[in-house]
Amino acid sequence: GIQVEQSPPDLILQEGANSTLRCNFSDSVNNLQWFHQNPWGQLINLFYIPSGTKQNGRLSATTVATERYSLLYISSSQTTDSGVYFCAVCQTGANNLFFGTGTRLTVIP
């Protein structure tokens, strides 16, 4: 199956700092999503971004499908941004999402 690698695995930020999370994948995809998992386990949809760039408030994402990577940018981080960020892809021809191992973000005041 497709390999999905996320980096860094852990990230600690001071409140107000900016960060970039990276997702590399090993094959062509027709779907890529970024999620934030809160402490209760709920996966919150951040972006559905198989290609291109999108922005939503302090968050933005870019996927370069031809080079098989996606980036999630968090600006002016807040303590409520803490949690685990997952990248998930659907390999072309597959029926489901394959998840990376996540980036655990901790934002300290």
Partner 1 sequence: ETGVTQTPRHLVMGMTNKKSLKCEQHLGHNAMYWYKQSAKKPLELMFVYSLEERVENNSVPSRFSPECPNSSHLFLHLHTLQPEDSALYLCASSQLAGRGEQFFGPGTRLTVL
Name the residues that contact partner 1, by CB under 8 A: 30-31, 33, 35, 40-43, 45, 48, 86, 88, 90, 93-102
Q: How far is the CB of 74 from partner 1 (least distance, A)?
A: 20
Residue number, 78 or 96, with CB nearest to partner 1? 96
Would strands 103-108 and 10-14 be described as parallel, antiparallel, or unpaired? parallel
First vs last Cα of the chain: how many Å apart?
Answer: 40
Cβ atoms of residues 43 and 86 within 8 Å: yes
Q: How far is the CB of 32 from partner 1 (least distance, A)?
A: 10
Q: Which is nearer to partner 1, 17 or 50 (CB)?
A: 50
Smallest separation, CB 38 to partner 1 (Å): 9
Considering the complex, state which of residue 20 and residue 101 has its C-beta at the smaller distance from partner 1: 101
CA distance 52 to 42: 26
- For residue 25, which of 104, 87, 94 has the smallest C-alpha distance? 87
